[in-house]
Structure 1
Amino acid sequence: MIDLHEILDRMNQSQKINYDKILQKMIKNWQDQKIRPRILLHSCCAPCSTYTLEYLTKYADVTIYYANSNIHPRAEYQRREYVQQKFITDFNQKTNNNVQFIAAPYEPQQYFEAVRGLEKEPEGGERCEACFNYRLDLVAAKAVELGFDYFGSALTISPHKNSQVVNRVGIDVQNFYTTKYLPSDFKKNNGYRRSVEMCKEYDVYRQCYCGCLFAAKAQGIDLSQIRQEAKTFMQGKDAGKEFPDIKFTYHTKQQDD
């Protein structure tokens, strides 16, 4: 597997890095070597995973890791988790793919610890960077545990997220694990526009705030209303029973060979 550092070390570090071009180089390398790597991809919500999966599944086997203890309130976290699983199921059925799904435990106190002291930072500032680091660290650790070739995030599809920061954090996290970070800027090549189109095609719920308590308050979001709407949405729904086919199953390389 090609290491991101092999490409970055040959680049001018004083210039803004085009992470989309780097990903394209890595994909070409996979194709030249006739391999389909396993990617554990962090996704914060179904909308961010739409075009991202449409793109990556052409070249790799992808499992979505829903690790988002930053989302508040709990009912909204559960709604987004359900919608994520429904989208994966619908996507697999429509495209004949086999994207799988893993959910991390919902542990909001760990998130609050990760951003302690940064509560008053503006959206897009140091609090967001700390949040990226917290979640990507979880993804990298899980990727090592389960034997994935790469870990990455669908966050870069959002025009509201700084892809330079997300990728820088991912590269830093890679240095502490025996797995490789997948660089990306999925909003490129009309990726964000395609994600909006796919949300309409698949009837995917699009949330009105990133998820965290601090961003919601800054935007004046009525969290009581969000909680009630999410609870109403989830009535009678059971993702475990409705979407059993996407549950991640681990196969060792020896089993696959």
Structure 2
Amino acid sequence: MLCLLTMNNNIDHTNYDLVMQEELKHLEGRSTLLLHVCCGPCSSNVIKMLSEYFDITIYYSNSNIYPEEEYNRRYQELLNFIPRFNKDYNQHIKVVEDAYDNIAYTSKLEPLKDTGEKGLRCKLCYSMRMKNAYNYAKEHDFDYWTTVLSVSPHKISRWINEIGNALQQDKPKFLNSDFKKRNGYLKSTQMASEYGMYRQDYCGCIYSYEEAQDRINRQKEESRSK
């Protein structure tokens, strides 16, 4: 995995959304998909789209989230959303929760804490959560696996797909994607509003939390100085 944790500045013109669409065209029948999910709002439109093609199991593997109260709030929001989605769209999606260990997770991110959002800290965070999802998908004999992370405009889709493809073996197959394409992020926010879901204001880890707090404090200072 270490080979993935470098800044690769080569421009990648791959349209991963088109790659996914081509893959979907060649599916025969309904395949099983393990979908790594970071939260309910980000997953909403992704689940809606993919449920047309796959029997989905959601994998909630997010030890990055700080503090634990926030982790539980996001997880509960997901658990509240899925039964409603299943009823509305005649699905049978279930949710599997990975073990939560923020202390161990943060210790791995700490050496890269100052690289900022979209830096190597985030790339390591993607890779650890995706490796957990891949291992679960492999152990439980899924046909495909992927993650909703690329729906966010704050995530680098190229890195996400590089990590997924590096992990892939014969089975399970990684489903390339860029879920923010075709207004995917906008649709997810709209769907989250329709279901009245809580939407967080920072990505998850303690460092993104602190950076968000710094932004809020700066904005307050700027508003007071005007």
Q: TM-score, normalised by structure 2?
A: 0.87
Alignment RMSD: 1.7
1:67-104 CA-partner distances (Å, limit 9, x unpaired): 00000000110010000111111111111111111000
Distance 1:93 1:68, change over 3 A: same
Which residue pairs with 1:86 in the alignment? 80
Q: C-alpha separation between the residues in 2 aligned to 1:92 and 1:163?
A: 28
2:19 is equivalent to residue 28 of structure 1 = no
Amino acid aligned to 2:162 = R
1:195-254 CA-partner distances (Å, limit 9, x unpaired): 1110111111100100110011112169xxxxxxxxxxxxxxxxxxxxxxxxxxxxxxxx
2:97 is equivalent to residue 100 of structure 1 = no
**Candidates 150, 161, 168, aligned match of 1:167:** 161
Q: Judge conservation of contact 2:106–2:205 (CA < 8 Å) in 1.
A: no
Which residue pairs with 1:233 in the alignment? none
User: Structure 2: 5+ residue runs without aligned partners?
Assistant: 1-9, 216-226
Distance 1:102 1:117, change over 3 A: same
Tell me how far 1:178 sits from its aligned partner: 4.0
Q: C-alpha separation between the residues in 2 aligned to 1:70 and 1:63?
A: 21
Q: C-alpha separation between the residues in 2 aligned to 1:190 and 1:119?
A: 31
1:140-185 CA-partner distances (Å, limit 9, x unpaired): 000011111111100111111111111111111225x842111111
Amino acid aligned to 1:51 = N
Q: Judge conservation of contact 1:114–1:134 (CA < 8 Å) in 2.
A: no
**Candidates 126, 135, 149, aligned match of 2:120:** 126
Q: Percent identity?
A: 38
SS of structure 1 residue aligned to 2:133: helix
SS of structure 2 residue aligned to 1:161: coil
After superposition, residues 38-53 of structure 1 pair within 5 angstroms as 38-53=32-47
1:40-86 CA-partner distances (Å, limit 9, x unpaired): 00010001110000100001111110000000000110010000111
Q: Judge conservation of contact 2:144–2:171 (CA < 8 Å) in 1.
A: no
Which residue pairs with 1:157 in the alignment? 151
SS of structure 2 residue aligned to 1:119: helix
Q: C-alpha separation between the residues in 2 aligned to 1:114 and 1:129?
A: 12
Q: C-alpha separation between the residues in 2 aligned to 1:180 and 1:221?
A: 40
Q: C-alpha separation between the residues in 2 aligned to 1:54 and 1:110?
A: 33
2:192 is equivalent to residue 184 of structure 1 = no
User: Structure 1: 5+ residue runs without aligned partners?
Assistant: 1-12, 223-257
Amino acid aligned to 1:182 = L
Amino acid aligned to 2:209 = A
Which residue pairs with 2:195 in the alignment? 202
Q: C-alpha separation between the residues in 1 aligned to 2:12 and 2:206?
A: 34
Q: C-alpha separation between the residues in 2 aligned to 1:86 and 1:160?
A: 25
Which residue pairs with 1:255 in the alignment? none
2:209 is equivalent to residue 216 of structure 1 = yes
Q: Judge conservation of contact 2:126–2:160 (CA < 8 Å) in 1.
A: yes
Amino acid aligned to 1:170 = G
- Number of equivalenced pairs: 206
